[in-house]
Structure 1
């Protein structure tokens, strides 16, 4: 019986997982031969990891998940892996993983395909008969993101099965002129022309194409409400950055509800500091990218 079970596992495919909620495939890649690191412990002056060579298949799914936690999305996926015979090697949650440092040591697809909120993510790695797989799950602003990466040795008996879905076209989250299209497609958009220096919370002038486009969108959709969410780079402390990010969102709201004439009751503001970066903070370009204001649709049909 043990031999039969072992042979079954060798022949069984690394099946595509069933997402816990209706999801859109935002990224699908299949590399015939590469190396990929799978974390085996939390970040502590370095990342314990296993580097595996072979065929890499990676997919990212995005889903509407209002009120869901990363664990609620991860748990059914973990159960599926264990039912397929995968051995869980390591799993962790945001700060226990090592927070910011862990996030940027692992290989995660970049926004807008994948979004990792540093205060709300989970990681899991598992192995089976020479193959390794990992999950990165995060929730933010009512959406959930799941990245699965699987590497199987090129001579492995088990194939890797990918989902049948094709990635949806990805709108440009940083194009001011595409604010309306991006909001319609993803429910959020970066107002990229709202530029802030490190530590600054003020916006000079009133002429911002992204705010004009957002105002046009809100006038054309009077039932929609939004939140403006401020972000900072990682310089400075968490508490100060939370306050700065909120004031940045407030600055954008002042313009949107003042010169652009939008009803203040339709616009909330929040600040999340440096807990939701879209780029590494170890370069000036990355820090500039992270200092941003995003708009998120908060109304529901």
Structure 2
């Protein structure tokens, strides 16, 4: 009774929300996009979107208990975390939506770890796994995004699946239910879908060390050379210690050709906003130049740091393998 009364107060407090919220939801929110390689249910619209380059999340492997206890059984994972709230077409059921997601994930090679349907299997008030203000799943921003699953939640369905490929682990959590929205009735009486991916681990490094001779040959023939032996952590610009062998070869090349001046160019994949990635890639390029100058005695005036983010990919960003190829440092002859 207390919970119902609280929700009623929420609804009453939002009854005078701006009229703009009552419009049709037929466009994705600006800056949002689907998880690479994972299609959305046809006709769905993105209401909320959040990408964290590094975060943690609890993967449900058992039913929902309550906001204090969380899931009956869960597993904590860390990595690049993407959260999306979709609004499915008005005439679709959670059964149809979830079956489509499960089929799509199976075709991609994901293994189901946990699934449930209705409150008996998923847990009473499982909608609070998203709506409750203490839950880390909840997306902020507009009230219509915050208050998904806030009132009546019918036919809830949940799926957790994992793909382990080439050292990269993708954990996907999908929650779908027909729900009402306390912020805007136009976003209610239809299925909302919360999709989360946490991408952890790293691709197996199959790129061989590029020695000074090979770098010089590539610069002579193409004016540039791509290097995968300069490493960074998620969302960080500090050069990792494991990068030293590649840095040594870069310094050897520059010392062997004292007249050579180069651009050191940072590249990222397409995860995250372009403006942010431009700054990150530039900071990484600056860190490489600084390391060559400080640790190997290369004159700073011979190097110019630039960041191109994801503007010059060498592979598709639709897969982790492609994204790994796009994350690189290049030497470009000035």
Q: TM-score, normalised on structure 1?
A: 0.43
Larger C-alpha radius of gyration, 1 or 2? 2
